[in-house]
Amino acid sequence: MTEQQTIDIARLPVMGEAAQQSYPTATLYVVATPIGNVTDITLRALHLLALADVVACEDTRKTGALLQRFGLSKQTIAAHQHNEREVADKIVERLQGGQRVALVSDAGTPGVSDPGARIVDAVRAAGLNVVPLPGPSAAITALSASGLVNDRFHFVGFLPAKPKQRESALALLARETSTLVIYEAPHRIVECVEGLVATFEPARQVVFARELSKMFEEIHRCALNEALAWVKADQHRERGEFVVLVEGAAAELDAEAAEAERILQILLAECSVKQAANLTAQITGRKKNALYDRALEIKGSEG
Ligand code: SAM
């Protein structure tokens, strides 16, 4: 075992580097903040927040409390879902006056299932500078610990709350081959899992990333047909914050089906329906009857 090391953060030479960087005035800084553990804030975020003339935030009390944890006291302005457009104009005015404005949300990265996009849009439209400060995001944090091996993911965010709309949204995702990343409010986690079970194959892997970076963090991976039992096994599970990841649809099946279709179409131009179906079955190993039905469909659509 290697010797355990400790770090005196305040004495790290790198601390000074955050201060040496350039933080132009008349700029909107989009600042990611912790999703649970307050010490996940970045050095650059801290430095910028200290430098900012004003902090635009979803909830002025929450952000005020966060700033206080770092010994900062700043003017804050409310920038939430219901006033984003109007506050965007005020932020543009401040930027035109040469201020540095920090934009944060309650947790994580602004503009990702959070307010922020409209403000950034207005600032860009006014020809002003926008600088993002990267940091925590629940989606990326969950993906990093999921062990789901797939280079691509599809960010779904929150599913619609109404059952019919949720059902339609999930149906549209059924053949998506990327890992699905879903955000869910604690009081809807059971309905969410019921929807997943009704839509996707039972063997698909699902990962629950609950209370990330907090005291009761839990990351659980199981087959979809075991998911509901897991959520219901402990009543605390219906209280925490969740990212739910769902393994994408099997890509090889889609690729194989596309290849069989291509072969069938080539052979149909030269042979009878029966011969084309038989030969495609021999070449691809797929079911003769299904190929025969498909060949009839193709012939039928040709008139
Ligand atoms: N902007 C944030 C981000 O960058 O991830 C997302 C904000 S969104 C309003 C809140 C949702 O993010 C929660 O309902 C949950 O799905 C997810 N989330 C936020 N913090 C989380 C945490 N600590 N653990 C698990 N999920 C979390």
E strand residue ranges, the chain: 27-31, 54-57, 76-78, 100-103, 129-133, 153-158, 179-184, 205-210, 218-223, 242-246
CATH classification of the domain holding 76? 3.40.1010.10
**Is there an atom of ligand 1 within 6 Å of 108 CB?**
yes
Range of the domain at 151: 139-246
Q: Is there a single domain that holds both residue 19 and residue 121?
A: yes
Please indicate, yes or no, whether residues 239 and 275 belong to a single structural domain of this protein: no
Residues 162 and 79 in one domain: no
Give me the phi and psi of 97, to 5 degrees please. -80, 0
Domain co-membership, 207 together with 99? no
Identify whether residues 57 and 127 lie together within a single domain.
yes
Would the CB of 242 count as within 6 Å of ligand 1? yes
Among 85, 116, 136, where does a domain finish? 136
Which among 216, 241, 245 is the best mutation to test ligand 1's pocket, defined by most ligand atoms within 8 Å of the CB?
A: 241
CA–CA dist 142, 208 (Å, integer): 8
In angstroms, the CA 41 to CA 37 distance is 8
Helices 163-173 and 189-199: crossing angle in degrees, nearest 10, is 40
| Residue 261 and residue 242 share a domain | no
Q: Indicate if 262 and 215 belong to the same structural domain.
A: no
Query: In a structure prediction context, what are the per-residue pLDDT tens digits for the chain, which is 303 residues long?
Result: 778 888 887 788 888 888 888 999 999 999 999 999 999 999 999 999 999 999 999 999 999 999 999 999 999 999 998 999 999 999 999 999 999 999 999 999 999 999 999 999 999 999 999 999 999 999 999 999 999 999 999 999 999 999 999 999 999 999 899 999 999 998 999 999 999 999 999 999 999 999 999 999 999 999 999 999 999 999 888 888 999 999 999 876 667 888 888 899 999 999 999 999 999 999 998 889 889 988 998 887 665
Q: Is residue 239 part of a domain?
A: yes
Q: Is 113 in the pocket of ligand 1 (CB under 6 A)?
A: yes
Ligand 1 within 6 A of CB of 143: no
The residue to mutate among 181, 183, 239, having the most atoms of ligand 1 within 8 angstroms of its beta carbon, is 183
Secondary structure (3-state) at 71: coil
Residue 241 Cα to ligand 1 middle (Å): 7
**pTM for this model (two decimals):** 0.83
The reply to whether 104 and 180 lie within a common domain is no
Is 13 in the same domain as 62?
A: yes
Same domain, 132 and 20: yes
Q: How far is the CA of 114 from the centre of ligand 1 (A)?
A: 9
Q: Is residue 80 part of a domain?
A: yes
Kindly report the number of other CB atoms within 10 A of residue 76's CB atom.
19
Q: Is the CB of 209 under 6 A from ligand 1?
A: yes
Distance, CA 14 to ligand 1 centroid (Å)? 29
* Residue 16 shares a structural domain with residue 85: yes
Picking from 271, 276, 269, 282, the residue whose alpha carbon sits closest to that of residue 294 is 276
Residue 145 sits in a domain whose CATH number is: 3.30.950.10
CA 60, distance to chain mean position in Å, is 25
Question: What's the structural domain count of the chain?
Answer: 3
Buried b or exposed e, range 263-298, using 16+ CB within 10 angstroms: bbeebbeeeebeebbbbbbeebebeeeebbebbeee
Looking at the domain assignment, is residue 72 inside a domain?
Answer: yes
> Can you tell me the distance from the alpha carbon of 199 to that of 171, in angstroms, rounded to the nearest whole number?
6
The number of the ligand 1 atom at minimal distance from the alpha carbon of 109 is 4
In a domain, 3, yes or no: no
Q: Is residue 2 part of a domain?
A: no
Q: Is 88 within the bounds of a domain? A: yes
Q: Is residue 1 part of a domain?
A: no
Whether residue 111 sits in one domain with residue 154: no
Sign of the C-alpha dihedral, residues 296, 297, 299, 303? positive
